[in-house]
């Protein structure tokens, strides 16, 4: 018997958006969602990796008309995509969804760019590290976390798939609000840690530059003998 109170005012999981720097981290989730008749959408590289595994997914470029701009810096940052993540399923929200022709998502699962991993790579340059600062991924996750009642956020798809798929089995395709809130909290913790790592790196770079400037100043000020 399904506990209707636990899933009250939450949508059945019917459509999921997947985006992963390392697609292998979302493939088992994708397979589990497909077994539950969930329609899959994915960003470019993730979609390609899924299809290589025989997993059919629609591309986000169908909504955004953007495959990849500026070397991948811009793929998802459009109203068409974020409207589908942030749209509430209230009567007013449903009317606006219909008015704007929005494709809504019930799950957003993202594996972020490996910033800290790149930071620890010997010989990594400033620009290489900078390019591993994920913008679209945290933005999608935070949007889904804000709208967690209607759009389930997953910031660690490989680890979190167990609870999501088990919940869907138990609740016939739904995920209880308590699980949704827990996953939303995990998103904000993960993005906080992610931003803190970036801040720490930039502050270290600043300190190194300042120290280098002081050394240069001392050398220039040293009297000739």
Structure tokens at 10: 């939450």
Domain residue spans of the chain: 15-221
Instruction: Answer whether CATH 3.40.50.1380 is correct for domain 15-221.
Output: yes
Q: Could you list the pLDDT tens digit for every one of the 225 residues in the chain?
A: 667 788 888 999 999 999 999 999 999 999 999 999 999 999 989 999 999 999 999 999 888 877 777 777 777 788 889 999 999 999 999 999 999 999 999 999 999 999 999 989 999 999 999 999 999 999 999 999 999 999 999 999 999 999 999 999 999 999 999 999 999 999 999 999 999 999 999 999 888 766 666 666 666 666 655
The DSSP result for 138-184, as a single string, is: HHHHHHHHHTTTTSEEESSHHHHHHHHHHHHHHTTT---HHHHHHHH
3-state secondary structure of 18: strand
How far apart (Å, rounded) are the C-alpha atoms in residues 76 and 140?
A: 8
Q: What is the pTM of this model?
A: 0.88
């Amino acid at each position: 018997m399904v506990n209707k109170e636990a899933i009250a005012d939450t949508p059945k999981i019917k459509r999921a958006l997947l985006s992963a720097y390392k697609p292998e981290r979302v493939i088992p989730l994708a397979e589990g969602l497909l077994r539950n008749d969930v329609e899959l959408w994915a960003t470019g590289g993730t979609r390609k990796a899924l299809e290589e595994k025989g997993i059919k997914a629609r591309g986000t470029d169908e909504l955004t008309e953007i495959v990849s701009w500026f070397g991948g810096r811009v793929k998802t940052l459009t109203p068409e995509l974020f409207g589908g993540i942030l749209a509430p399923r209230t009567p007013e929200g449903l009317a606006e969804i219909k008015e704007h022709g929005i494709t809504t998502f019930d799950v957003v699962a993202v594996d972020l760019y490996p910033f800290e991993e790149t930071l620890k790579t010997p010989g990594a340059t400033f620009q290489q590290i900078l390019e591993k600062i994920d913008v679209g991924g945290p933005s999608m996750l935070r949007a889904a976390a804000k709208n967690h009642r209607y759009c389930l956020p997953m910031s660690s798809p490989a680890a979190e798939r167990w609870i999501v798929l088990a919940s869907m089995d138990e609740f016939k395709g739904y995920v209880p609000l308590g699980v949704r809130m827990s996953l939303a909290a995990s998103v904000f913790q993960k993005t906080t840690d992610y931003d803190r790592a970036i801040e720490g790196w930039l502050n270290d770079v600043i300190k190194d530059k300042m120290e280098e400037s002081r050394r240069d100043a001392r050398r220039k000020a040293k009297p000739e003998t």
